[in-house]
């Protein structure tokens, strides 16, 4: 499975844009997803619930108890950046840094029993989705975004946690059709994504610049 594979094709029922998200992140310095959901519930009574999260990176999935967005004063290659750090299940390490100079939009997506925070750049939309969708919002609703944090509750979260606890790999993979690939080891994981820890850290796994991912760490101790 190539590391550039997009997200699965499940559709979302509704979308809420978070227009000031990155500016607010710069002011606050960091924002855990669980705290963000509480803030959104307080503001709009959305009824969002989560017991855990799954970081999504082009089909790679990393379950965790929370994820924190962090404003980075200077990221890789001296660019302004923001990052996402996952409080992982077990002895795993997962974080990603993104180029703040791109034009990002951040969305809350919801469907029955599931919510997600997704971020999509103008550049990615223009290259990969503009011929199929008239707007970034339509693309996001169709599940066409490379990066996001899925928010699970109850039995759905327990399934995610138990799945990753069954393996010594740092993450699992989910294809566009929703089927899951669960590697047994870190070595097998990197064979499946046709990359290496060094390539992840230095270029997000040879990611094209329009995706905006500068650095990526997905390992297990």
pTM: predicted TM-score of the whole model, two decimal places: 0.93
DSSP secondary structure code for residue 77 in this structure: G
- In order of 11, 25, 88, 137, the CA distances from 85 in angstroms are 26, 14, 9, 25
Give the pLDDT confidence score for residue 77 in this predicted structure. 64
Q: Is residue 198 part of a domain?
A: yes
146 belongs to a structural domain: yes
Q: Does 62 fall in a domain?
A: yes
The torsion angles phi and psi of 11, rounded to 5 degrees, stand at: -90, 155
pLDDT at residue 197, rounded to an integer = 96
* Secondary structure (3-state) at 185: coil
Count of domains observed in the chain: 1
Whether 1 is covered by a domain: the verdict is no
* 118 lies in some domain: yes
Helix (H) or strand (E) holding 44: helix 33-44
Backbone angles phi, psi at 56, to 5 degrees: -115, 125
**Parent domain of 119:** 14-220
pLDDT mean values, one per 10 residues, the chain (221 residues): 40 93 95 97 93 96 98 76 97 96 96 94 96 95 94 97 98 90 97 95 93 96 95
In a domain, 74, yes or no: yes
Q: How high is the pLDDT of residue 176?
A: 81
Q: Does any domain span residue 133?
A: yes
Instruction: Report the distance separating Cα 6 and Cα 166, nearest Å.
Output: 25
Q: Residue 7 falls within a domain, yes or no?
A: no
């Amino acid at each position: 499975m190539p590391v550039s594979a997009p997200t699965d094709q499940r559709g979302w029922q509704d979308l809420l844009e978070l227009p000031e998200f990155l500016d607010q992140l710069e002011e606050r310095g960091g924002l855990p997803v669980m705290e963000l959901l509480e803030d959104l519930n307080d503001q709009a009574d959305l009824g969002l619930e989560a017991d855990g999260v799954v970081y999504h990176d082009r089909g790679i999935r990393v379950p965790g108890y929370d994820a924190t967005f962090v404003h980075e004063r200077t990221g890789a290659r001296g660019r302004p950046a923001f990052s996402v750090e996952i409080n992982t299940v077990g002895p795993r390490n997962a974080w990603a840094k993104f180029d703040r100079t791109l034009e990002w939009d951040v969305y809350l997506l919801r469907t029955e029993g599931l919510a997600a925070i997704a971020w999509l750049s103008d550049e990615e939309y223009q290259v990969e989705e503009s011929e199929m969708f008239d707007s970034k919002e339509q693309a996001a609703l169709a599940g066409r975004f490379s990066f996001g944090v899925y928010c699970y509750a109850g039995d759905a979260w327990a399934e995610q946690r138990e799945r990753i606890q069954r393996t010594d790999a740092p993450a699992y993979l989910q294809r566009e059709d929703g089927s899951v690939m669960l590697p047994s080891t870190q070595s097998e994981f990197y064979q499946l994504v046709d990359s290496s820890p060094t390539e992840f850290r230095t270029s997000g796994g040879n990611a094209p610049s329009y995706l905006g991912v500068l650095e990526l760490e997905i390992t297990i101790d």
